[in-house]
Structure 1
């Protein structure tokens, strides 16, 4: 039922940590239905990062952490100060669990600390961190007047390349050297899963001949894979019954020429511009299951909700957004107040 979206395999040079991405793992949202756990972070719109521990002691220039997470020079730590405001500081030096911040801060014991910038992790990601290759099987064998190289990828695509060269014998076995030469696939998309040398043990083939066979086989397999991909894609499209949407409202968020061209090529005949291009009156700007009333404990289905009658207004960067609540669908919508 399931298969990979593409061929090949990846070799990763680091351990992925999803929690280091912006607020990953912060909430399941509505995967398990509405839950009492908060799905919003009203204290700060920024990423808190990963929890690293609590402040154990602090003095004028340093503080110590009660936690097992190693901290590195150059890390960024953040915390809520005594005013409830989030602030951050860069780590200048670390001695065990004692932190020497790059600037002076006021921080008290029991303060919860998060790391929103991991210097060592970021440095590792700045280097090549992953390599994706397609496995191939290679067979080298003799043909009249020369040699042939057969190469097949993991999808069954294959090619055979011939190169004229005299059959010469050597005094010592050559197969390991030949395998090593054929396996040098360098920056190509391939890696050798299996290499068979179907030759007498002491056949000598110049490195230049092996290199030419390998290079031509890679180029040929690249072409064959492109043709096979286009053929497979057409077959998949032929199997798909498509019912194109002929009209697209402002909710399609079409805000540039290329997006409009894409939709027209796929059968859309009427396209309304995005809201930011042409504002429309009386239309919602956002539909969300996240409910501010529920988050504040004033859901309209509870007695506390009666104390805050509609409409409610949200102030965002100087703009007023009016909130509407559809309690039957458990959904909240936002409207721009001045164009209702």
Structure 2
């Protein structure tokens, strides 16, 4: 059986546990240092607690050490990895090659998408070096994933399927560092791609003013799970280590359901299964449109078919409700507007729309009147929005849904079978879980025939099935006794509790992470010369590349300090989010208007950036001119 993993983000211990309860097969979390989300750090004690809970279900915990490291941080990073190994973390996710020159414990190593895992040659090198898994670049198409899997079949492929998209290639974006000295490769990205810019041509004409020209929609690969599994992806990763509880629960439950749908198909039952144990029964209806989103895109999975960018806003737009069909603009009475929608709207909901200037504006709902027979809803906002007939209305704060998700008491449970048998000294209860782990509880008591036989089996089952708040649920019960014996309720309850405690303790001890020593080698790196984009900022990383036959190594920008004049034309960002494509001015597909048939530039308040269009590979480069 091939194992399929759903990998969810955990900002903290509580969210990590909730993700597992909602169907995650693994979670990834940051420690207090060296993670690519500096605001999402966690203590070793909390990570250890998460590991203990996850391993009950054979779920895994991965810890991010996915920033580049300076020389004075190497010792602390090595100490952290040793501690993570001791608390039985399953794997670490790294960016810095210098880590591979450390004295590492036998813990699995995953290559972060920050390592620019975009070509089959690079991934082949990572496999040969000793990585267990690579997190593929988000920019890859399904066709390219198939090619990589065929070329490097032995390495596990992990792929992001949902959440915010980095506008630039991961690990290759230097815009934030250029502007603020806050490096994305150090977990400090200032999210400059979410800011507003002007688009200007070589004649100085402003073509677009004050728009989010680099901001992308959010990724949603829900419809492509089957194709991705067949392409070779085995771990489906949800972005969001800064996301809150309701987001993680909702999105995890949604993708867990989608993966289960694929596995349960007749042709797949004997080929695929989930990588962890247990059953989750969600108490709400998952709907990713009801959680934070900037609008959705399937990005480059099918090649360049979708508009990736969202020029109007970098904020959440939420779920589309309907168009304005009527409004009271008379000035008499309270202002209201009416929309045609089947969605239930509540007081306190946040609604939004795109105004005449093309920007998102929002307001809260103060009152609602429904006309179910006509599917119309009259809304009284807390302020008068500048809307017109046919204005599209969205909901980016769904108060009732959020409350339902947060109060949902979903628990994950493991199936067990319980068998009641006679023994020479009385009876025994045996529990066997879905992993075939088994425990026995002896009941030493004098045997007595039950006087009341009507409903005997039903009442006995009812007593056995009282598993309460445990992590188990009763799949089957078999009474192998030769007669209807009497069991006092208190006696049976006592021994059933002991039985469940024994099984719980056995599960705590049963899981052991798979360990493998990292063995250094000298497999040649695919390139002989490395520029700043290799992100080498410490001596161990430099030594790694020298050991792997690299001849020239330039320091990463973060180590160079102030750039000199020779490096002013560097590519700060390389992106699939092509502005020409978004605006219908693609150099391959479209006929350009006069204003666009020339060089284009982006401008912010202080700087100008040249845009270069690599149409052969379908990328846009943002180039520094200073």
* TM-score, with structure 1 as normaliser: 0.78
SS in 2 for 1:209: helix
For the 8 Å contact 1:179–1:197, the answer to whether it is kept is: no
Which of 419, 443, 449 matches 1:169? Answer: 449
SS of equivalent to 1:203: coil
Given that 2:450 and 2:485 are in contact with CA atoms closer than 8 Å, whether structure 1 keeps it comes out as yes
Instruction: Find the counterpart in structure 1 of residue 132 from structure 2.
Output: none
Map Cα deviations across residues 46-87 of structure 1 (whole Å, 9 max, x no partner). 122111111112114111113333322222111122333321
What's 1:326 paired with? 614
Indicate if the aligned counterparts of 1:79 and 1:112 stay in contact, CA closer than 8 A. Answer: yes
In structure 2, the CA distance between the partners of 1:170 and 1:297, relative to structure 1 (3 Å rule), is closer
Structure 1 pair 200–276 and aligned structure 2 pair: CA distance change class (3 A): farther
Q: Quick check: which has more Rg, 1 or 2? A: 1
Which residue pairs with 1:20 in the alignment?
290
Match in the other structure for 2:435: 155
Task: Give the Cα–Cα distance (whole angstroms) in 1 for the partners of residues 556 and 413 of structure 2.
Answer: 41
Match of 2:379 among 99, 104, 110: 99
Give, in whole Å, the separation in 2 of the partners of 1:206 and 1:95: 57
Q: Give distance in 2, aligned partners of 1:201 and 1:25.
A: 64
Matched, 1:55 2:337: no
Give CA-to-partner distance per residue, 1:13-68, whole Å, 9 cap, x none.
11111222333762221122112x42211011112211111111211411111333
1:203 aligns with 2:490: no
2:500 and 2:562 mapped to 1: Cα distance? 55
In structure 2, what is the equivalent of residue 33 of structure 1?
303
State which of 572, 582, 585 in structure 2 corresponds to 1:295: 582
- Aligned Cα RMSD in Å? 3.9
Return 5+ residue gaps in structure 2 as ranges: 1-270, 371-376, 549-553
1:9 correspondence with 2:279: yes
Task: Indicate if the aligned counterparts of 2:294 and 2:317 stay in contact, CA closer than 8 A.
Answer: no
Cα distance in 1 for partners of 2:597, 2:281 equals 56
The alpha-carbon distance between structure 1 residues 253 and 98, as it changes in their structure 2 partners (threshold 3 A), is farther
Say whether residues 1:137 and 2:432 are aligned partners: no
2:601 to 291, 309, 312: 312
Retained in 2: the 8 A contact 1:53–1:67? yes
**Structure 2 residue aligned with 1:42:** 311
CA gap of 1:77–1:223, structure 2 versus 1, over 3 A, is: same
SS in 2 for 1:68: coil
Residue 109 in structure 1 maps to residue 397 in structure 2: no
Number of residue pairs the alignment of both structures matches: 322
Give the number of the structure whose residues are more often strand, by fraction: 1
For 1:122, what is the secondary structure of its paired residue? helix
Equivalence for 2:156: none
TM-score (norm 2): 0.45
CA–CA distance in 1 between the matches of 2:272 and 2:615? Answer: 38
Report what 1:83 is aligned to.
Answer: 357
Separation in structure 2 between the aligned mates of residue 17 and residue 330 of structure 1, nearest angstrom: 32
- Equivalent residue in structure 1 for 2:507, among 225, 228, 231: 225
Determine the C-alpha separation between the residues in 2 that align with 1:152 and 1:134. Answer: 10
Q: CA deviation at 1:250?
A: 8.1
Moved over 4 A (4+): 240-255, 272-285, 300-303, 305-311, 317-322, 335-338
**Structure with the higher fraction of residues in helix conformation:** 2
Partner Cα distance (2:421, 2:609) in 1: 74
